[in-house]
Amino acid sequence: MDRCRSQSLRFGTQVFTETVNKVDFSSTPFKITTDSKTVVADTVVVATGAVAKRLHFSGSDTFWNRGISACAVCDGAAPIFRNKPLAVIGGGDSAMEEANFLTKYGSKVYIIHRRDTFRASKIMQNRALTNPKIEVLWNSVTEEAYGERSLTGLKVRNMVTDEVSDLKVSGLFFAIGHEPATKFLDGQLELDSDGYVLTKPGTTQTSVRGVFAAGDVQDKKYRQAITAAGTGSFSCFVIFVHLQF
């Protein structure tokens, strides 16, 4: 990414390290406002991404990045997780996928789910439920994470019996979805029911002419670096054509 930044600077890009507070897409040129300045532009690419949702309970912040993560694919192969018992919180396709992935590295994987059924697709459920290294803790919620320098266990409460058990794990992964960074748009672009920017099929064009969206802010299906790069480069090409003609 440093190389990408250097390349853009070499071609004359101005980079402002600012937090955008609001935008005005009601007329051109568009206005993008931060705490210290307002930038005007004929075209805008919204590429603010999406953030993995986290649960907050005792110890969850203390052991964040010290055994607690929201990305098994990113962190699951780390030495601190290898051949250790691990846990995943969630009940959707992402939770099933992450639990199966973690069985490559952990000695055992627990799926902690607050209900007695998964909402994941049947095929993803089957992969998890038939994996001998995966155990499901139904009707359960995590109430505490504990350890010393890193995570060593969880306090898990069964919502049916109200019994709290001690679960010895070295890693906990949240797999409860993502939240797109679109609040600052303040309704000026059309969003779907989950808050992702809607684009015209096969393009990166949003509901406002001249405003494009790229990456995870408009992609809740793949959420991969390669697809983000693809939509980003496509947006730049469209903008180039737009400015030329």
The CA distance from 191 to 196, in Å, is 5
pTM of the model: 0.76
- Kindly state the tokens that stand for 137: 């803790």
Residue 29: is the preceding peptide bond cis (ω within 30°)? yes
Strand partners, 45: 212
Strand partners, 240: none
Range list of H helices, the chain = 2-10, 72-75, 93-102, 122-129, 225-244
Which pLDDT tens digits describe the chain residue by residue (245 residues)?
899 899 989 999 999 999 999 999 999 999 999 999 999 999 999 999 998 899 999 999 999 999 999 999 889 999 999 999 999 999 999 999 999 999 999 999 999 999 999 999 999 999 999 999 999 999 999 999 999 999 999 999 999 999 999 999 999 999 998 899 999 999 999 999 999 999 999 899 999 999 999 999 998 877 677 777 888 777 776 665 555 55
- Kindly state the tokens that stand for 12: 């004359």
* Torsion 170-96-98-90 (CA) sign: negative
Catalytic residues: 71, 74-75
How far CA 156 is from CA of 61, 71, 98, 175, in Å, comes to: 17, 21, 20, 17
The CA distance from 83 to 199, in Å, is 43
